[in-house]
Structure 1
Amino acid sequence: MKGTHHPTGRRRSGLGRLLGLLLALVTAIGLTGTTAFAVPSHKDPSAATKNIELSPMSAVAAMQPSWNLGNTLDAIPDETSWGNPPATKALFDTIKSQGFRSVRIPVTWSGHQSSTAPYAIDATWMSRVKQVVDWALSDGLYVVINVHHDSWQWIADMPTNHDNVLARFKATWTQIAAEFKDSPKSLLFESNNEPQFNNTTDAQGIQYNDELNTAFHTVVRQSGGNNATRLLVLPSLHTNSGQVFLDALVSEMKSLNDPNLVATVHYYSWYPFSVNIAGGTQFDATAQKDMTDNFARIRDTLVSKGIPVYMGEYGLLKYPDYLQPAPRVERGEALKYFEMFGYEARISGVTTALWDAYNFLNRSTLQWREPELIDQIKSSWTTRSGTASSDRVFLAKSSAITARTLTLNPNGTNFEGVWQGSTKLVRDRDYTVSGNQLTLTATALTRLAGDRAYGINATIEARFSRGLPWKIFVTTYDRPVLSNATGDTSGLTIPTQYRGDQLATMEARYADGSNAGPVNWTPYQEFNASFSPDYPNNGLLLTSDFLNALRDDTQATLVFHFWSGATVTYRVTKNGGSVTGTVA
């Protein structure tokens, strides 16, 4: 059965009201299986504000969408150590106004806690955590707090320091539970972030994770107040959604025999795409299958059994990152990822929390760093958007302009045409459509390219019956030109004329065919880790990590791949601390 959202003020027929009541009843008794949920109307107070008692499944559904206050209370050693300003009430006002229904507030306790018995948490730190949590609760947001980077700081030592780690873990949650026992039930506790244990097999790690989750459950339930029935969030090992980890989590939740439990996992996409390594430059069929398989496992293993799922973190591991000179993931490919992610979460009935360390919301200005990206994320909460095989049409300045074809991905919508601003392009003159093939004519592209200056000459939009339009950047380029360079292993900057193009990836090999660089399992090195474009300064940096991993006195051949399809071959030789680069 598929849930239907009715905006505030819209009347429903008697039959509609009856169906709505039946759906609510079925949801409350946990029989909905894979029922999808819609985002509550922004005009409606949340259940958290109304203090309405909901079933666990309904409460977690009411938390969608969610947002992470990352790199703040979880920063080491202090709140501002990782570059964010202190959290404020205005921050949560902004998050609420932007349509989010819940926030996850990661907390690292270790720097504010005695490492020996009785493992006392500093009162000032506890008070600060309480203040931040209360600000979010006062906005009517659901809130999740946890034990965060402690997972790798000291909890990971459990295999060799079992009794002390277990005692400290229990003491930590005893103090947290006591502080928040009278907080409203819209506050959730999460056992442990990304559980991990040093030098263990998965089977051993699952046992340690089960032991900690059980200890967490016992401590909180015995602490009184609202903690007796508060929703408790239990992670799988590593918060991994692989089948073996989900099965183990289901088994443990059954053994606890508690209806007020929530499962949590994280998702950061297929790794090569998430960080741009091993040629994973596109959100292609492999990356898409990784996503659909992930949600299928969650639906089949958890949601279909009536277990609510809170995906406590999602995103891409290295995108966006405004601290880097260039984005690792191409803009259009990232938009396609977030568009599809929102859809898969909706049809799976999974509440999702965007991981935001600083890269989405500027905490100083309270403005989104990339408004179009957040618009795509927001749109995905309620509908699908059409996309295309690329958001770029590259026209070589050195060649005559010819027609260019893109493949449309309607995603269940209907294609409605192409616009430039408020002007609709003329079908059969400016473009043609055959099936899902959109062809821009040479005549239209000649007009759009104008004086053919390098870079973006014009922006057009493919529009669909629902969702956001798909922007297409008509771009003039010529094959990039690299020059010889000398330097040392601290980093080599190659003078580069990009001429309107953009770098996609770099492969590196020795003459014997083996891979060159710090990543030895693929020739395609990691973007911004081994190499990084510097477009404003006409440079291309080979990093110290890459150069120091090269063999001495052995030439490495680099092939730079650009988004236009152009490639440029370059040779690099390291001799001791010096490095020489030459054009092939």
Structure 2
Amino acid sequence: MKRPPWKKLAALAAGLALSASLAVPAGAQTTPERRPSAAPTSAAAETVAAMQPGWNLGNTLDAVGADETAWGNPRVTQAQFDQIEKQGFNSVRIPVTLGQYQGAAPGYTIDPVVLARVQEVVDLALAEDLMVLLDLHHDSWMWTNQMPTRHDEVLAQFTSTWEQLAQRFRDYPRTLLFESINEPQFAGVTGDDQSYALLNELNTVFHQVVRSSGGANADRVLVLPTLHTNADQGRLDALAATFTALADPNLAATFHYYGYWPFSVNVAGGTRFDATAQQDLTGTFTRVRDTFVANGIPVILGEYGLLGFDRHTGTIEQGEKLKFFEALGHQARTTGITTMLWDNGQHFDRTAFVWRDPQLFGYISSSWTMRSGTASTDQVFVRAGAVTAQTVTLNPNGTSFRTLYLGTQALKAGRDYTLSGAALTLSAALLGRLAGDGQYGTRAELTVKYSRGLPWQIKVIGFDTPVLQGAVGTTADFAVPTAFNGDRLATMEARYLDGSNAGPHSWTSFKEFDVTFAPDEGAGRILLRPAFFAEVTDGAPVTLTFHFWSGETVRYTVVRQGSAVTGTVG
């Protein structure tokens, strides 16, 4: 029997662990860490804390098109929410896009069938003991962004939209929250000050409309975003001023975080979750904590992930993305911020009810309660005939190293590996035994077991230097024939013969993964996308340098003549 949603709030207030129902993957030590952040000090803070962790029903009711299936996701069912609740989530954010379903001025009436469906989906989620955050979504770039030039019309439509939503849900329990607008933005503004003033107006009208509708809306928790839901200090300060002016204890702030941009999309050499990317993460959460949480304003990270996921999760190397999500969960937990994973359908299969990447979800879910040790890499490349010892730097993250395993076999210190501080050195004898036979690809997987949290997996990969071949093609369809020989492509540089940068993002020689180039290991080729050639000077040779994860680099030259492309080795 499911707990009524109000019992979540009572359980939190009583200090019960919300992590008890988490399905932590096999191999994890499940004793949670003590949460360093202070206990909630207000009813709004208790509500927001009880939502942790949360999940987004992305690309569904917010889809722009015929209906909720327009962007490829199935129609929402009770079973989907039942399964989400079983994964350990306590809340769901339901983005809705309504402008396309609204009538003309002055009423801007929402199609009653659409409004009824929104209510039905909210009911399905609440029935599964999930708290709900309902937000107005793509309307932000479809029509509210025109506020600078159509101020009165936009404000009238925004007001009417929230009047209709507030009336429909006025008697719903406190486990339903409203978010004014997703990723607010404004076209044609003169600068941030004008944008801040416009967003303040929208947030203030939203607050007035909902509060004046009565019923449970009189003290429902309302969630207000920063400009672009960005966490730069200026954005935070502007929203903080709105909170001060409204002086309402039942408000929460929201922002989004998709990582340090070069790492998030794999451009400008941002292949690793390095010190710069880590500082961007910690700096973001510190600013949000200091601006809001420390001043008694609860915060919801309404969306998080990596921007490269908009294409596919392989844009970022597996181990690097695992380190990012492990660190993000730690930062959110220790700063007292509730997280809501953005899922547009690529993470949790809404038909088969399985995670498409169970390892990724393992790191996400374990980070809700504890830290896991990681390492400098999850790949060790071994070249046949030249096997040497290799060192991996451990990142214990507050844990301690226990044992190194090959399958279920504990490897022997001094023979198979040595540990000096954080330096784990894999012996040449071990690597030769595992991958010294000259065969390519993953030959074994080692497991670093820490004192708690998830174990870290290290793939031992047999490889040799990749070999490229000349080719001809067109700007619409060009590929470099490639024998990867077990290696894996990390990034690509592009320069003209004079050393200047070629292709998109001319400020860097390192091009954006998948947007301008993409490995296709199964077909033995590296694709060069039309977007790359669209910004290459006609007739000018471009030297490409392909960087592989083994550390190998291979050069290749391409020349575009109109729509024709010729590629040569070197």
TM-score by structure 1 length?
A: 0.90
Partner of 2:60: 72
Q: Partner of 2:314: helix, strand, or coil?
A: coil
- The structure 1 residue matched to 2:514, chosen from 528, 544, 564, is 528
CA contact (8 A) 2:389 2:427 kept: yes
- 1:228-271 Cα offsets, whole Å, 9 max, x none, are 11000000110011111111111111100110000000000000
Instruction: Identify the match of residue 361 of structure 1 among 348, 364, 369.
Output: 348
Could you tell me which of 498, 501, 504 is aligned with 2:490?
A: 504
Map 1:258-337 onto structure 2 (within 5 A).
Answer: 258-319=248-309, 321-322=311-312, 327-337=314-324
**Hey, what does 2:7 align to over in structure 1?**
none
Structure 2 contact 19–368 (Cα < 8 Å) conserved: no
Residue 53 of structure 2 aligns with an amino acid whose one-letter code is P
Letter in 2 for 1:455: G
Within the alignment, does 1:435 sit opposite 2:414 as a pair?
A: no
Equivalent residue, structure 2, for 1:59: 47
State the Cα RMSD in Å. 1.8
Q: Which moved more, 1:279-288 or 1:110-119?
A: 110-119
Does the 8 A contact of 2:436 with 2:462 survive in 1? no
Say if 1:39 and 1:65, in contact at 8 Å, map to a contact too.
no
Distance 2:501 2:288 in 1: 37
Q: How far is 1:512 from its partner? A: 2.1
Residue 395 (str. 1) matches residue 382 (str. 2): yes
Is 1:346 matched up with 2:327? Answer: no
- Say which SS state the counterpart of residue 361 (structure 1) adopts: coil
Task: Return the alpha-carbon distance in structure 1 between the equivalents of residues 559 and 148 of structure 2.
Answer: 45
1:415-444 Cα shifts (integer Å, max 9, x gaps): 001001111000111000000000000111
For residues 336-377 of structure 1, the C-alpha deviation after alignment (integer angstroms, 9 at most, x for no partner) is: 000010000000000000000011111221111001110111
- Cα offsets for 1:303-343 (capped at 9, x unmatched): 00000001100011113855xxx811000000000001000
Aligned with residue 128 of structure 1, among 113, 117, 122 = 117
1:39–1:382 CA contact under 8 A, matched in 2: no
Alpha-carbon separation, structure 1, partners of 2:311 and 2:108: 36
Shift of 1:530: 0.2
TM superposition shift of 1:447: 1.6
Q: Specify the code of the residue in structure 2 equivalent to 1:132.
A: V
Structure 1 residue ranges without an equivalent (≥5): 1-20, 28-36, 44-52
The answer for the alignment partner of 1:84 in structure 2 is 73
Matching of residue 374 in structure 1 with residue 364 in structure 2: no
- For the residues of structure 2 that align with 1:451 and 1:65, how far apart are their CA atoms? 46
Corresponding residue for residue 226 of structure 1: 216
Q: Which has the higher contact order (CA 8 A, sep 6+)?
A: 2
Which stretches of structure 1, 4 residues or longer, exceed 2 Å deviation after superposition?
37-43, 319-322
Q: Distance in 2 between matches of 1:282 and 1:410?
A: 18
Tell me the residue number matched to 1:208.
198
Preserved contact between residue 383 and residue 436 of structure 2 (Cα < 8 Å): no
Task: Report the secondary structure of 1:438's partner residue.
Answer: strand
Q: Does 1:155 align with 2:144?
A: yes
Q: How does 1:23-62 map to 2 (within 5 A)?
A: 39-42=18-21, 55-62=43-50
The offset of 1:450, in angstroms, is 5.7
Q: Is the 8 A contact 2:544 2:555 kept in 1?
A: yes
Following the alignment from structure 1 to structure 2, what is the Cα–Cα distance between the partners of residues 284 and 526?
17
Which residue matches 1:448? 434
Q: Is 1:250 matched with 2:236? A: no
* Maintained 8 Å contact 2:301/2:339: yes
* Whole-angstrom CA distance in 1 between matches of 2:440 and 2:248: 63
Match for residue 184 of structure 2?
Answer: 195
For residues 529-562 of structure 1, the C-alpha deviation after alignment (integer angstroms, 9 at most, x for no partner) is 0001111110110001111211011011110100
- Checking the alignment, whether the CA contact within 8 Å between 2:80 and 2:350 is kept in structure 1 is yes
User: What secondary structure does 1:265 align onto?
Assistant: strand
Number of residue pairs the alignment of both structures matches: 541
CA contact (8 A) 1:320 1:359 kept: no
Q: Structure 1's 367 and 321: CA in aligned 2 closer, same or farther, altered over 3 A?
A: farther
CA contact 1:491–1:547 (8 Å) conserved in 2:
no
Question: Does structure 2 conserve the Cα–Cα contact (< 8 Å) formed by 1:40 and 1:62?
Answer: no
Residue 491 of structure 1: CA displacement?
2.4
TM-score normalised by structure 2 residue count: 0.93
Q: How far apart are residue 55 of structure 1 and its match?
A: 0.9
Letter of the aligned partner of 1:432 in structure 2? T
Cα shift at 1:115: 4.4
| Counterparts of 2:227 and 2:562, CA distance in 1 | 44
Where 2:96 maps in the other structure, the secondary structure is: coil
Q: Partner of 1:471: helix, strand, or coil? A: strand
Q: Distance in 2 between matches of 1:40 and 1:191?
A: 29
Distance 1:56 1:66 in 2: 16
Q: Provide the C-alpha distance between the structure 1 equivalents of 2:438 and 2:133, rounded to a whole number of angstroms.
A: 52
- Distance in 1 (CA, whole Å) between partners of 2:325 and 2:104 is 41
Q: How many angstroms apart in 1 are the aligned matches of 2:235 and 2:296?
A: 18
Say whether the 8 Å CA contact 2:212–2:218 is kept in structure 1.
yes
Letter in 1 for 2:297: I
Report the counterpart of residue 573 of structure 1 in structure 2: 559
Give the partner amino acid of 1:153: M
Q: Is the 8 A contact 2:19 2:369 kept in 1?
A: no
Distance 2:116 2:161 in 1: 15
**C-alpha contact (below 8 Å) 1:295/1:344 kept by paired residues:** yes
Is the partner of 1:252 in helix, strand or coil?
helix
Matches within 5 A, 1:452-463: 452-463=438-449
**Partner SS state of residue 319, structure 1:** helix
Aligned-residue identity in percent:
54
- Tell me how far 1:520 sits from its aligned partner: 1.3
Please report how far the alpha carbon of residue 171 of structure 1 lies from its aligned counterpart in structure 2 after TM superposition.
0.4
- Distance in 2 between the 1:373 and 1:469 partners? 13
* Unpaired stretches in structure 2, ≥5 consecutive residues: 1-9, 23-40
Q: 1: distance between equivalents of 2:145 and 2:337?
A: 28
- Alignment deviations for residues 174-214 of structure 1 (CA, whole Å, 9 cap, x no partner): 00001111111100000000000002211111110000000
